[in-house]
Amino acid sequence: MFETNPFSILAEIVPPIAMQGFIIVMVVLIALGTIIQMISHKNLTYFLNNAKKAKLQATRDIGVGERASIIAKTTVYDIGTTSELGFGKRRLAHVLGMYGTIIFWVSSAMLVFCYTGADKSSSSIWSILWHVGAVLTCIGGYWFWFFLRVDVSAEAHPWYRIIKADLFVLALLACSTFGLAWSYTQFNGQMGLAYLFLTLFLASNLILFGGVYWSKFAHMFYKPGAAIQKNLAEADGSRDNLPPPADAPEQFGLGIKREEPKHY
């Protein structure tokens, strides 16, 4: 199953152009949802005003080379490893989910556009990556959902309590779960179940990408920008209008030793 392209089998009844069109529509929905959210919530205005304020408060100029180095380091380390979460279970779950999702999305596009159709060759590597990406997303996502969410692990709410903020992670998990179920049932010739899971897979994608305005999907774009701006502010001395660290030992009292921080 892992080496089989599920979209290639689906192409026997659905034209590849329709699958390609669906992916393009999803990309358009991401762009529209993010733009509308930025306008409605004034996120872009906040970032631009913050950047202008930081420039006025800067104590030193940053050269092009240093700026590029800071952006590259932030992208690779802070964003690429979710370093803000510290070392622990939450960081590992986020990394699994993040890279699993990236692999799943990229391999989906590659399989549909490059390896699906009567005149197209097959690729076991991209097929394996598609399945592995979905599995990693499920591992990281379900681990986070059942055990690591703040309202579950710290506030004693039941895992099945759902609020609007959960739309993104639940839709993402649904896409990966139903995608794997569709691939498995289709590979085993259980076409009735395969069509059911395919329908659920498509519906969850529509909810995920069509619900960008109402979910935390757009945070994937905001958080990298905020991390880069924070590190640039540290380098030029503006520090987001915060005072510099005090030249004194850290004293938190004995209460901080009662339990390990969970990096919420």
Stretch 147-159: mean pLDDT, rounded?
69
CA distances (Å), 92 to each of 25, 150, 195, 255, in order?
32, 15, 34, 27
Q: How high is the pLDDT of residue 81?
A: 78
Place of tokens 């692999």: 103
Q: How confident is the model at residue 151 (pLDDT cuts 50, 70, 90)?
A: low
Which comes out higher in pLDDT, residue 99 or 89? 99
**How far is Cα 109 from Cα 30, in angstroms, rounded to an integer?**
15
pLDDT value, residue 199: 94
pLDDT value, residue 252: 67
Residue 109, classified by CB atoms within 10 Å of its CB into exposed (0-12), middle (13-18) or buried (19+), is middle
pLDDT score of 260: 65
Which tens digit of pLDDT belongs to each residue from 246-262? 777 767 666 666 666 66
Q: pLDDT band for position 181 (50/70/90)?
A: very high
For 91, the 3-state DSSP assignment is: helix
b vs e for 45-66, b when ≥16 Cβ sit within 10 Å of the residue's Cβ? Answer: eeeeebeeebeeebeeeeeeee
What is d(CA 173, CA 137) in angstroms, rounded to the nearest whole number? 7
User: In which band, very low, low, confident or very high, does the pLDDT at 152 lie, cut at 50, 70 and 90?
Assistant: low
Q: What is the pLDDT of residue 35?
A: 86
Mean pLDDT of the chain: 83
How many residues are listed for the chain in this entry? 264
Note the pLDDT of residue 67: 83
Least confident window among 12-16, 30-34, 56-60, 152-156: 152-156
63 token code pair? 């050269």
Whose CA is closest to 100, among 194, 173, 202?
Answer: 173
* pLDDT, mean of residues 202-217: 88
> What's the whole-number mean pLDDT along residues 62-67?
82
What's the pLDDT at 76?
Answer: 82
**Gap between the Cα atoms of 74 and 186, Å rounded:** 42
In this model, does residue 71 exceed pLDDT 70?
yes
The model's confidence at residue 221, banded by pLDDT at 50, 70 and 90, is: confident
| pLDDT surpassing 70 at residue 68 | yes
Tens digits of residue pLDDT in 105-138: 999 999 999 988 777 778 889 999 999 999 999 9
Mean of pLDDT values over 157-175 = 83
| Residue 257 confidence (pLDDT) | 65
Higher pLDDT, 128 or 51: 128
